[in-house]
Chain A
Amino acid sequence: MKKIASTVLLLSILITLFAPVGQAAGQAVSQAPKLFLDGVELKPLVNPKIINERTLVPVRVLSESLGYDISWDNPTRSVTIEGDTQLIRLVIDNNIAMVNDHFVEMDTQAILENGTTLVPIRFIGEQFGLTFEWNQEKREVHMFKPENAEPETIAATIKGIGYNNMNELIILHDGDLKLDRSFYLSNPTRVVFDFKDAAYTSELAATFVSGESKTTLEGHPFMNSFRYSQFQKTPSIARLVLDVTENVGYKLDSEPGLTRLTLISEEDTDTEPGVTIPEDSDSSSENGNGNGNGNEPEKPVVTDPNAGKKYHIVIDAGHGGTDPGAASVNKKYEKEFNLNVALKVKALLEKEPLLVPHLTRETDVFIALNDRVQFAEDLGADLFVSIHANSILNNSSVNGTETYYSRADSKPFADVMHKHILGATKLKDRYVKQADFRVIKSTTMPAILLEVGFLSNANDANTLFKAETQDRIAAAIVAGIKEYLKLS
């Protein structure tokens, strides 16, 4: 609280200092306009400015007051403004804006002045559905959010965040704490968690130093410290940052009043970092609390709200043991092909930090169809992929790749996967089809069955039993899973 008071004092001094400058230059630069959002005056640190009858505001106004995501790209001198519905890219000193991949000509342009990016507020606001009124006499810009805009809400109030020595951070809170996004940043390496519509109790906020609370952990294998802050006020976002020595996996469990963040060391999971770490020189800006200079907000690479969630994938090698599956014209059995590919998929999935493979069989053993279904259900698996090869009697010319789904909710997964498998087999397209095969009918997660090719056809069979084809098929299965889960 003390800190806030001194900041206000500093501001008033700054304003006093600048005031004469503004007056001295009064002839050239008109008095700064005031900004209002739904009747409430916004007081940005850097004054808005009117140039050629257009109001330019510090870009930070957009993120802090209007809740848009801002990112700055230095090489191209461009700023990207992202809201729920629109993505706008402006280049400094350029009157061509890009709005959702369309070029739009503006009657003004963004400028860079004394290290602050100023952007045309009306042009941007109108893209996001705001309405504007200009009061010439009072020199006031009034912005109004659309009628249906959601009211600002605080869904969760955080009462405390602590570490329990079991690689778990415990967040105590009232209300419903929802993770909005999580992502990695580099230099130093850290993991950032943003909780939307979340604030801190005034008692907790009173303990913040420089806008954050920081706890240092001595001798922890991979975490040096954790800290939390009120990253943004409108909408309210609480941010938790872990300073780590390596990228870590995590699991988030919620129960009423308590959210448990379990951290998994990379060594434990034996995975590779799956999230690219952006170049980021400004290591302190993730605790943005309104005091930054506003023109170089950092750009998170991952903004998916599901980022960090681990997906459990069941890979089902068809047949096995006393059930050899279809016989191949090259004297091999379908069960061998299925298992080879499944094991290759497993090896690839183990390299994916967010994907956890589970095989219904890893050896040549008979597994009942119902046990395969039960295996996936007991796991609460997210996806189910059954690997098979096809066969027909008396027509060795039949060939090609098919992908099956049973329940309608599995069709999108089948469509995505089929495209990848076809690319890997380069066999004839026999399309995505619906059929009620047991393992895809009785499971409850998106489930598909691949009939990769015909072992009754010499060309298909020879292709499918080549190691390189199996490698390609395995990679295609992983690619299909990742595309479906939007991880690629």
Chain B
Amino acid sequence: MMKMKAGSLLAAIALSAALAGCGAADKLPAPSNNTGAAASPQETTAPTEAPDTIEAVIYTSDAELLKLTERTETLSYSSNEELVKAAIDALRQSGGENELSLWEKIEINGVKLTADSVTIDVHVPDEARLGAPGEALAIHSLQSTLFQFDFIQSIQLLIDGEKAESLMGHVDLDHPMNRP
């Protein structure tokens, strides 16, 4: 589903880029639209409501649950919070057989970006629970995926709204997890 979406977005982006060649020139340099926007580079280059895109690395597990693997996804977003949500959505999708999602069955209650801290509230149904190495990789994949964005300095991972000790009962969670 995500792939479909990404594919159609790519088409839309290509189209908008073509259009920009003639009619969009007056929009890009408009500095007046920039007032009040967050001071991140993504925002400054995307001053309008039109979605921007970014090539993001999404972290997954290899086929044998031994190490993190990565794939590149083009994420579209209209705000940094949207970008975080898009990245988390991508984190919940597996790629190829060597790109297994560790977050697929974790339910996302909400994602909120406040200043440079992202708060993610999740629910962990029984079928989402992994063994110790899977949990460790899941935490690492979340950190690696989100900390690639410069505007995130910390991740607050809540479980059903609580600052739980652990996601799956092996690894202790820092509240929040700060950028290493």
A residues adjacent to B (C-beta < 8 A): 318-319, 323-327, 333-334, 368-370, 388-395, 398, 402, 404, 433, 435-439, 442, 449, 451, 454-455
Taking CB as reference atom, which chain A residue is nearest B136?
A435
Residues in A whose Cβ lies below 8 Å from that of B145 = none
Taking CB as reference atom, which chain B residue is nearest A452?
B131
B137 shortest CB reach to chain A, Å = 9
* Number of B interface residues in the complex (CB < 8 A): 28
Contact B172 A326 (CB under 8 A): no
A385 shortest CB reach to chain B, Å = 14
A353 shortest CB reach to chain B, Å = 33
Q: Residue B132 contacts which of A333, A394, A398, A437 (CB distance < 8 angstroms)?
A: A437
Where chain B touches its partner, the secondary structure class is: loop
Contact B97 A369 (CB under 8 A): no
Q: A404-B132, A437-B170 are in contact. List 20 more A-B contacts (CB 8 A).
A: A323-B129, A323-B168, A326-B129, A327-B127, A333-B126, A369-B165, A369-B172, A370-B172, A388-B132, A390-B130, A391-B129, A391-B134, A393-B100, A393-B130, A394-B101, A395-B97, A398-B63, A435-B133, A437-B132, A438-B170
Residues in A whose Cβ lies below 8 Å from that of B94 = 394
Report Cα–Cα, A391/B137, bound state, in Å.
12
Given known contacts A369-B169, A369-B172, A435-B136, A326 and B63 CB-to-CB distance under 8 angstroms: no
B residues adjacent to A (C-beta < 8 A): 61, 63-65, 94, 97, 100-102, 104-105, 126-134, 136, 165-166, 168-172
Residues in A whose Cβ lies below 8 Å from that of B61 = 392
Contact A449 B132 (CB under 8 A): yes
Contact B131 A437 (CB under 8 A): no
Given known contacts A319-B169, A325-B169, A368-B165, A402 and B133 CB-to-CB distance under 8 angstroms: yes
Report Cα–Cα, A333/B129, bound state, in Å.
10
Enumerate 19 A-B pairs (CB-CB under 8 Å) in ascending A order.
Answer: A323-B168, A327-B126, A368-B165, A369-B169, A370-B165, A370-B172, A390-B131, A390-B134, A392-B100, A392-B130, A394-B94, A394-B100, A436-B171, A437-B136, A437-B171, A439-B170, A442-B172, A451-B131, A454-B131
Residues in B whose Cβ lies below 8 Å from that of A402 = 133
Report Cα–Cα, A391/B101, bound state, in Å.
13
Report Cα–Cα, A252/B47, bound state, in Å.
77
Report Cα–Cα, A437/B137, bound state, in Å.
12
Given known contacts A369-B165, A394-B104, A437-B170, A326 and B97 CB-to-CB distance under 8 angstroms: no
Which one of B63, B128, B132, B134 has the greatest number of beta carbons of chain A within 10 Å?
A: B132
Report Cα–Cα, A355/B134, bound state, in Å.
33
Residues in A whose Cβ lies below 8 Å from that of B169 = 318-319, 323, 325, 369
Q: What 10 pairs across the A-B complex have the smallest Cβ distances?
A: A390-B131, A438-B172, A391-B131, A392-B65, A437-B170, A323-B169, A394-B100, A319-B169, A326-B129, A391-B130
